[in-house]
Amino acid sequence: MFPTAVASQPLASAVEVVLPLEPTTAVDPRSPLHAPAPVSVESPTFTLGLENQTVSAGDAAVFTVLFDGRPPPSVRWYIDGRLVHAGSGDDDDRVVVVGVDGVEIVEDRERGASTLTVLSSGVDNEAQYTCRVRNSRGTAFTNAHLFVLGNSHISSSNMRVRAHHTLLLTFHYARWFGAGSKLVRTR
């Protein structure tokens, strides 16, 4: 109910109107009714993880992850175990764009998204790519491998081989991937 104090104001008709005063209740900030809403805390998880990719030499390769977690997790990217990006985890860093060694990383912690783009793929980019997200409740990882096609280079000079003689070719670096199909001669 309202307090007993009242304010009165005479009207022209000589009728007195009694208006109640606003209630004055002291608010205890520790009261459960006035306590801040509890903060949701969740371990990070990937809603979209990395998948292996195969691209042609010179093409871009794009790795995108979507993640959840409260508080928003920090993001780290690794290439063959080598750290290439460590998000700060600060709430002020909502969108971050980083370029390192032909790789661009875009991180949007507010949306829970991060993308690593290899701008021009080559043999040196064939590797395992790993994204790690971490907050105070835990850590999650996802990884994938990048395969690059058409990245071998054979230099030749004018060589002649006599009939019925042996030609020995030495490869300094070669990777063959078959996925169950035959490798065939194209010419």
Q: What is the pLDDT of residue 20?
A: 47
Contact between 85 and 56 (Cβ < 8 Å): no
Q: What is the pLDDT of residue 184?
A: 45
Lookup: tokens for 146: 């990048």
Nearest partner of 19 among 9, 29, 33, 34, judged by Cα: 9
Q: What is the pTM of this model?
A: 0.61
Report d(CA 128, CA 141) in Å as an integer: 12
Q: What is the pLDDT of residue 172?
A: 43
Nearest partner of 62 among 10, 103, 31, 19, judged by Cα: 103
Q: How far is CA 88 from CA 91, 107, 147, in A?
A: 9, 11, 30
Our CA angle for 120, 145, 134, nearest 5°, is 100
Q: What is the pLDDT of residue 103?
A: 93
Q: What is the pLDDT of residue 51?
A: 97
Q: What is the pLDDT of residue 30?
A: 63
Domains of the chain: 42-149 (2.60.40.10)
Q: Which amino acid is at 153?
A: H
Backbone angles phi, psi at 124, to 5 degrees: -70, -15
Give pLDDT tens digits along the chain (187 positions).
545 554 445 444 444 444 444 544 555 556 666 566 667 899 999 999 999 999 999 999 999 999 999 999 999 999 999 999 988 666 555 677 878 788 999 999 889 999 999 999 999 999 999 999 999 999 999 999 999 998 455 555 566 777 777 766 554 444 444 455 444 444 4
